[in-house]
Amino acid sequence: MNQKIFIVLVAMACGFTASAQSNVAKYEIGISLSSFLYQGDLTPEKLGASKTMRLGVNLFGTRILSSSVSLRTNLSIGGLRGDDSKYDNPEFRQQRNFKFRSRLFELSQYIVWNPLKKNYDDKGFYPYFFTGAGLGFVKIKRDWSEYNAEYFISNDVTARLAEDSAHSLPKVVPFIPLGAGLRLNVSSRWAINVESTYRFLFTDYLDGFSKAANPDKNDKYHSLSIGAIYRIGKRSTLSCPTVRL
């Protein structure tokens, strides 16, 4: 009889635990301020065109799947810009003077991995990594009005520029993001994070130029962000014991 009573009590406890576990924090929302850096034919900077950096904002929502994995949906609004004339070296950039700017509206989906399995922790500091897929909606405006054709008379840049000017510009650019971040949980509700996101594109016309610049490499861009995160729901620490008859 005592054993039966014990089993009933355990079952009741498990039922209570299952109910409590439904209150485990499963969702987060956040906002961050970002700097967007173009990386392509119109800058020699390997880490992106810091001289033409543009600011933007990100809104995101996260669904926590486990202690180590979550899904995140992102909406980003910003801009991109590149300008040959910002660089004195190599010398030809001052003579080529290609420029572009673009508004950027971005939708993306990430899978986020927390290697330390701390997605449910109320406090702490930890790294995370992510990848996924996204679409960038752009409105590219290219400019070669200050191009010095006489300087390039000994090669075919002018002819290749004519090819570029006849090429239609993309309005939607698919990309694969790859990034990493650091997060600090300051309470059961609030956290702050910093992260870097690199985007691999499938076009060399993000800046409006390809044949007249470097057609062998696709353009890219990346962003650096700092933000705040709000956790929705409560974390339960209850667990159900294993019963053996």
CA atoms of 205 and 45, how far apart (whole Å)? 18
Count how many Cα atoms sit within 13 Å of the Cα of residue 49 in the half-sphere of its side chain.
27
Does the model's pTM come out above 0.85? Answer: no
Question: Over 14-80, what HEC string results?
Answer: HHHHHHHHCCCCCEEEEEEEEEEEEECCCCCCCCCCHHHCEEEEEEEEEEECCCCEEEEEEEEEEEE
Asked if 96 and 152 count as a contact pair (C-beta separation under 8 A), the reply is: yes
Write out the chain's pLDDT in tens, 245 residues: 555 555 544 455 555 444 444 456 799 999 999 999 999 999 999 889 999 999 999 999 999 999 999 999 999 999 999 999 999 988 999 999 999 999 999 999 999 999 999 999 999 999 999 999 999 999 999 999 999 999 998 788 999 999 999 999 999 999 999 999 999 999 999 999 999 999 999 999 999 999 999 899 999 999 999 999 999 976 554 444 544 44
**CA dihedral sign of residues 152, 170, 109, 176:** negative
CA atoms of 85 and 77, how far apart (whole Å)? 26
| Six token digits for residue 83 | 């300008």
**CA neighbor of 106 nearest in space, from 75, 79, 130:** 75
